[in-house]
Structure 1
Amino acid sequence: MFDVMYKTDGIGLSAPQVGVNVQLMVFNPAGVKGEGEEIVLVNPVVYKMSKRLLVYEESCLSFPGIYANVVRPDNVKIDAQDVTGAKIKFKLSGLSARVFQHEFDHLQGILFFDRMSLDVLESVREGLKVCKNVIIVQNNEIASKFYLIAVVNARTV
């Protein structure tokens, strides 16, 4: 998964994005192989989020070319397992917390469009129409197209 992430200039990737239905994510906020820390989390659970919310521009490897502001908690505390099954606890803040939350959302079936305000979503709607025909990961082709059609055609609160 790290290879796919680095080849697509990403800093995080969840297993469902590559067609694997497991609760697993990888990320490296440095975004460069051999730099920063490569983190693998299995079965992550968030048990605390900060009340402080920050706006930050995000993008998603599943929807190339779409960049939009998303509001998220500044830090999170999580439980997870490493690849050996050992239990681990983390407190993540800043960019690491942001990347974790983005990938965690994928594991929950939530995409960053779901976190956008209506104004922000409207600002990326044309890009989403173009993105309907762009697929990064072959296994996600049908699901991505149907989801994008739904997002482009209607979003009500």
Structure 2
Amino acid sequence: VGLAAPQVGVNVRLMVFNPEGVRGSGREYVLANPRIISTSNTTERGEEGCLSFITDKGLILGDVDRATMVKIKAQDENGAKFQLKLEGWTARIFQHEFDHLQGKLFVDADRMIAEDRAAAAEELQKLEAEFAALHPGVEAESVVS
């Protein structure tokens, strides 16, 4: 559905997503340097997963509360500035990808609800151990503790 540049090791403020989940079907968003102008006061809880958190059991999933509407400013792939109002599923996807640009993850304590974080803790610890084995000497902040 979506991918932010930092997820693939590219340090730019860029995201791409398609609410349909099928390339070439529906609208495909390419947003550079996105900024949130405003959000609704209304939130909705919904299940999310992330390509950054795949285990041998599949995607780690968990419920996250998100604003039901966001107004944003961004640039397209040619640098043209524009504004959008996103709602529902599309707003949720944008907020998830925007979090990546802000250094936030859906499994963070201020995102995923506590019960789902507790249920995912064992799988998250396995991912952290795999990272530590692949990158000795690199101190990474735990998303579990």
What TM-score comes out, normalization by structure 2 length? 0.86
1:130 and 2:111 matched: no
Measured in 1, the distance between the counterparts of 2:19 and 2:129 equals 28
Structure 1 residue corresponding to 2:62, chosen from 61, 64, 68: 68
Cα distance, 1:67 vs structure 2: 0.4
Cα distance, 1:127 vs structure 2: 2.0
Structure 1 residue corresponding to 2:91, chosen from 84, 97, 104: 97
Gaps of 5+ in 2: none
- Please give the secondary structure, in 2, of the residue aligned with 1:146: coil
Cα distance, 1:120 vs structure 2: 2.3
Q: Within 5 Å, which residues of 2 pair with 1:71-90? A: 71-90=65-84
Measured in 2, the distance between the counterparts of 1:134 and 1:38 equals 33
Quote the residue 1:151 is aligned against: 143
Cα distance, 1:134 vs structure 2: 6.4
Equivalences, count: 135
Structure 2 residue corresponding to 1:117, chosen from 99, 113, 116: 113
Measured in 1, the distance between the counterparts of 2:4 and 2:130 equals 19
Cα distance 1:128–1:97, how it changes in 2: closer, same or farther (>3 A)? same
Measured in 2, the distance between the counterparts of 1:45 and 1:94 equals 18
Amino acid corresponding to residue 3 of structure 2 in structure 1: L
Identity within the alignment, %: 51
Contact 1:15 1:21 in 2 (8 A): yes
Larger proportion of helix:
1
Cα distance, 1:91 vs structure 2: 0.3
Measured in 1, the distance between the counterparts of 2:127 and 2:29 equals 29
Contact 2:62 2:113 in 1 (8 A): no
Gaps of 5+ in 1: 1-10, 136-140
What TM-score comes out, normalization by structure 1 length? 0.79
Cα distance, 1:116 vs structure 2: 1.4
Amino acid corresponding to residue 119 of structure 1 in structure 2: E
Contact 2:39 2:70 in 1 (8 A): yes
The runs of 4+ residues in structure 1 deviating greater than 2 Å are 117-120, 129-135
Measured in 2, the distance between the counterparts of 1:61 and 1:48 equals 27
